Chains A and B, each alone.
Chain A
Amino acid sequence: MTNNLKSNILEINNLTVSFDGFKALNNLNFSIEQGELRVIIGPNGAGKTTFLDIITGKVKPTEGNVFFKGKNLRKFSEHQIARLGIGRKFQTPRIYLNLTVRENLDLTVNPQKNVFKTLFNPVRNNEKRTVAGLLETIGLTAKAELKADLLSHGEKQRLEIGMLVAQSPDLLLVDEPVAGLTDEETENVGALLLELAQSHSIIVIEHDMEFVRQIAKKVTVLHQGSVLCEGSMDQIQNDPKVIEVYLGEEQQHD
């Protein structure tokens, strides 16, 4: 058990979440190793977003536990979990529209996030350099002084990924990073994630199968609140259970 926790950055045991009797997650077991990039797919309503809500502390589990670096997350609130090293990117970009691109990054890069340190500590030079480096990475250096409101959708997605990295988390949770992006932008984001995967553990939730194929080594399929199967992209595509779930869905649409 302890051995297991050391190599697994995130470990979820027998997790159940019910909202008024409806089980959004049902006896789910999941783990991801340090440094791994994992893609989670699943039909609508499979519980993907609830899954992220649980890890980040927005929703508390009804049963079961989530361990991050061996710590049980049940007693921590959202900001404490974020400080432990879990960063989250939302499905639709959530950035501060009335701040400039640079200010957005500057807020998240702040290493001391309590009141008085934020008020009195001057912004250090290494933080400024980090922000400048991040602007370079996400390709927004020229627009650094623009209000985030004026960015295009793709630029907003990139900015939010930048903010996520600025937080310097150990585990990145990325919810549909390429929704609404052009092919070129999708490829950029894919490259960005692969680059980040070299120094972070990442969980990506995605619908776009082509994109999943671009980045995924290991894929987990969620269905009706539990893990349906896990494996490489090829294994998943040939798994009869997965085919049934996805085909079954298509038949419903017809």
Chain B
Amino acid sequence: METIINPQKNKQKNKRKLIIEGSIILGLTLILALVMPLILEPFRLKLLGRFLALGITALGIDLIWGYTGLLSLGHGIFFALGGYAIAMHIKLQIPDGQIPEFFTLYGVTKLPFFWQPFASFPFTFLAIFIIPAITAGILGYLVFRNRIKGVYFSILTQAALLVFFNFFNGQQKLINGTNGLKTDTDTIFNLVAGSNQAQIIFYELTILGIIVSYLLCRWLTSGRFGRLLIAIRDDEMRLRFSGYDPTPFKVLVFAISGAIAGLAGSLYTVQSGLITPETMKVAFSIEMVIWVAVGGRATLIGAIIGALAVNFGSSLFSEKFPEIWLFFQGALFLIVVTVLPDGLVGWVKNSGLNLIKNLLGIKPPVVTFPELVENPEILQEKEELINDK
């Protein structure tokens, strides 16, 4: 338990914390952006880039689930919308008058109208964020306005996911149906999207994306707005009696989370070279939630760690034990739920650090009744006594 009575001291301490956090982020960024491309072979680097993109999605999930308490099981929608937006843009990098090849398979001769604006990069860039955000905003508004909460909200997001999946899966003439859009062999900015050169650029952009998303979430979850999100999670009805209308807050956060998932989807797509309706499968959206649960809810950094750990774990296991790796994943989730309910980061924060310190003999376990040593009233009296002298 930490207690600080002096606001001046409090401020200094916060400032020091911020500086430490900033330097850690800067350090990690430099390692990821400069060192990793040198020491990892292209295949591994691509894998890391894809997993970092998934980490961005996890940040968005943490924002709405960890902080605001809304368990979305439909984030695959927003992820896929971002992915399709960039894939459509890449597909349209062809001479004027032509249409992407797959259309000819279905006898389509004219580009569908909604494809046309995606020829422009600025439009596509905005669409990656705005289309998922608007979709999430509308879905969120309809649900939250009617005060639908908890499990019912989760079920509705999953239902929406199924609707989108079936639509994208069935519309061959519009978006190539179940085959999805392949971006590997097409060009973007005069580079073949699948070439090593382009992949390095996508990798660096992913790192930029994860930092921007992290800072955005960090800003949203600190200060009054962030505390309000926690209040919505803990007792929404109470907030209403304090004069807040929770609905617009939830809609905004859900939309932002959707936009973050859209960004992640676009970065993931260009690095895997393919977007299909598979990304809107129920299992994938649930997996996103698992990453956050494993890493630790309401910790932001935990969401990224969780996404990286689970995905590297499963890629390692699937290489070594291709037949049983799914069992490992299931076991991992069970362990987290039963042994580490706060996730990895939550555990380290709450008890892990002390445990490790105790094991190493750095700090003896507290034997006195904590009240006496840490009670702020007693501390204040002590300080006053010292000041009086």
B376 close to A143 (CB less than 8 A):
yes
Q: How far is the CB of B19 from chain A (nearest CB, A)?
A: 20
A87 close to B241 (CB less than 8 A):
yes
Complex CA–CA separation, A104 to B213 (angstroms): 27
A98 close to B249 (CB less than 8 A):
no
Number of A-B contacts (CB under 8 A): 86
A108 in contact (CB, < 8 A):
yes
B225 close to A119 (CB less than 8 A):
yes
Complex CA–CA separation, A167 to B243 (angstroms): 8
B238 close to A118 (CB less than 8 A):
no
A99 close to B230 (CB less than 8 A):
yes
B245 in contact (CB, < 8 A):
yes
A143 close to B242 (CB less than 8 A):
no
A96 close to B231 (CB less than 8 A):
yes
Chain B residues with Cβ below 8 Å from A119 are: 220, 225
Chain B residues with Cβ below 8 Å from A82 are: 240-243
Complex CA–CA separation, A126 to B140 (angstroms): 35
How many of chain B's residues have a CB under 8 angstroms from any CB in A?
A: 32
A213 in contact (CB, < 8 A):
no
- Also in contact, A118 and B241, with CB within 8 A (given A96-B230, A98-B234): no
Chain A residues with Cβ below 8 Å from B225 are: 118-119
A106 close to B227 (CB less than 8 A):
yes
Chain B residues with Cβ below 8 Å from A97 are: 234
Residue in A78, A95, A99 whose beta carbon sits within 8 Å of that of B241 in the complex:
A78
A145 close to B10 (CB less than 8 A):
yes
Instruction: Find the B residue at minimum CB distance from A166.
Output: B242
B4 in contact (CB, < 8 A):
yes
A113 in contact (CB, < 8 A):
yes
Complex CA–CA separation, A108 to B376 (angstroms): 24
B377 in contact (CB, < 8 A):
yes
A107 in contact (CB, < 8 A):
yes
Instruction: Find the A residue at minimum CB distance from B238.
Output: A94
B228 in contact (CB, < 8 A):
yes
Complex CA–CA separation, A189 to B245 (angstroms): 30
Q: How far is the CB of A145 from chain B (nearest CB, A)?
A: 6
B3 close to A145 (CB less than 8 A):
yes
Instruction: Find the A residue at minimum CB distance from B250.
Output: A115
- Also in contact, A96 and B235, with CB within 8 A (given A107-B228, A115-B248, A115-B249): yes
A88 in contact (CB, < 8 A):
yes
- Also in contact, A143 and B227, with CB within 8 A (given A83-B243, A94-B235): no
Please provide the chain B residues from 237 to 270 with a CB less than 8 Å away from any CB of chain A in the complex. Answer: 237-245, 248-249, 252
B234 close to A118 (CB less than 8 A):
no
A247 in contact (CB, < 8 A):
no
Chain B residues with Cβ below 8 Å from A113 are: 242-245
A142 close to B243 (CB less than 8 A):
no
B228 close to A108 (CB less than 8 A):
no
Complex CA–CA separation, A98 to B5 (angstroms): 19
Chain A residues with Cβ below 8 Å from B228 are: 107, 118
Q: How far is the CB of A1 from chain B (nearest CB, A)?
A: 29
A251 in contact (CB, < 8 A):
no
Q: How far is the CB of A146 from chain B (nearest CB, A)?
A: 7
Chain B residues with Cβ below 8 Å from A143 are: 376-377
Query: Residue among A99, A106, A123 with the most chain B CB within 10 A?
Result: A99
B320 in contact (CB, < 8 A):
no
Q: How far is the CB of B218 from chain A (nearest CB, A)?
A: 14
Interface string of A150-170 (1 = CB under 8 A from B): 100000000000010001000
Query: Residue among A97, A107, A114 with the most chain B CB within 10 A?
Result: A107
Chain B contacts to A: CB under 8 angstroms = 1-5, 10, 220, 223-225, 227-228, 230-231, 234-235, 237-245, 248-249, 252, 376-377, 379-380
Given contacts A142-B380, A146-B3, A146-B376, 13 further A-B contacts (CB under 8 A): A58-B237, A82-B242, A88-B241, A90-B238, A96-B227, A98-B234, A99-B230, A107-B224, A108-B243, A113-B244, A115-B252, A118-B228, A142-B5
19 A-B pairs (CB sep. < 8 Å): A56-B241, A78-B237, A79-B242, A79-B243, A82-B242, A87-B242, A90-B238, A98-B234, A106-B227, A107-B228, A113-B243, A113-B244, A113-B245, A115-B249, A123-B223, A142-B380, A145-B3, A145-B376, A146-B1
Top 3 A-B residue pairs of the complex, sorted by shortest distance between their CB atoms: A82-B243, A78-B240, A142-B376
